[in-house]
Chain A
């Protein structure tokens, strides 16, 4: 069974940093592209980061470019999202998503990041 379990969400002040983790199991993690998608309270979905299995290709939404870094450890089946210079508009549930042909076929349950003073 495919499982994606996010962790690391927390409350942080504006300008702060946070690192999210996603533990993957039930599939060969090293061969799949992985992603982070977020959802602000009461809002729709925003695809914010993508990383191929070989780490050669990545994508960032304009809203997080230069502030967030997606990375992975294929030996440990872990996906990360390093977030810095956090803003109030980064407040959201962050989902770890496996993708095939650019479509998210498995989603974690999400971890909440709250940015406020």
Chain B
């Protein structure tokens, strides 16, 4: 079973600064099946990045994803007030069929 870990658990950043979030898998995962989600307080999660690096529809270009194998990164280049939220990575394996989220990284205002 693939275990996803995220670091840091909490990231304190000032508006306008850059944030770098890490997601690590316990074994190599298919980059095509690695996603990042944003969850603002009181809201449902929304897809930010699919396939490790492809922004979802309507996602601003200040969000970028990269990585392969076991190490993946989400970069928010210039934090806007609405970006302070919890971010989850998630992987999918087709065989055996599994879906696993990381525990999340909370991005808070410094």
A residues in contact (CB < 8 Å) with B: 35, 37, 44-47, 50, 57, 59, 95, 100-110
Chain B, 5-39, contact with A by CB distance < 8 Å: what is the 0/1 string? 00000000000000000000000000011010101
A46-B101, A103-B33, A103-B50 given; A108·B92 CB < 8 A:
no
B residues in contact (CB < 8 Å) with A: 32-33, 35, 37, 39, 43-47, 50-51, 56, 88, 90-94, 97-104
A44-B101, A47-B90, A50-B97 given; A102·B33 CB < 8 A:
yes
Q: Which of B45, B51, B56 contacts A101 (CB 8 A)?
A: B51
- A105 and B97 within 8 A (CB): no
Interface residue SS majority, chain A: strand
A45 to B, closest residue via Cβ: B101
A34 CB, nearest partner CB in chain B, Å: 13
